[in-house]
Amino acid sequence: MKEVKVEVIGTDPPCIRCQAARKAVEKTAEKLKQSSVIVHIEKANIMSKEVVQKYGVLVSPAIAINNTIKIVGRVPSPEEIEKLIMEVVKQG
């Protein structure tokens, strides 16, 4: 069983685009459960100094997988998120 951490970085309270990004991640997480991939979804506030220092992102929504920024400034499709997560899983 593989575990992956996905952070949805956005505004608090979340804007429409940030909500859509999170929904796409949640949909992907449900699908990947069948492949024995556990996705831990966390929300990070883009206005937080810690988040800006850690990732350097200033445009939301952004998505980080296992502490690496993969998407910035747009809402990805569930298929794109799945592809990115599976690349990380294959790398070990």
Alpha-carbon span 20 to 86, nearest angstrom: 21
pTM recorded for the entire structure = 0.95
**Domain CATH number, residue 9:** 3.40.30.10
The three-state (H, E, C) secondary structure of 22-87, written as one string: HHHHHHHHHHHHCCCEEEEEEEEECCCHHHHHHHCCCCCCEEEECCEEEEECCCCCHHHHHHHHHH
The predicted model gives 6-30 an average pLDDT of: 97
| Helix/strand/coil for 86 | helix
Q: How much is the pLDDT for 1?
A: 86
- Tell me the mean pLDDT in the region 5-29: 97
Mean pLDDT of 2-19: 96
Tokens of 58: 């200033």
pLDDT value of position 23: 98
C-alpha–C-alpha distance, residues 92 and 40, integer Å: 16
In total, how many domains does the chain have? 1
pLDDT tens by residue, 35-84: 999 999 999 999 999 999 999 999 999 999 999 999 999 999 999 999 99
- The predicted pLDDT at position 92 comes to 78
Distance from the Cα of residue 12 to its chain's centroid: 16
**pLDDT at res. 76:** 98
Residue 10 pLDDT exceeds 90: yes
**Which range of residues forms the domain containing residue 82?**
2-91
Distance of CA 1 to the CA centre of its chain: 19
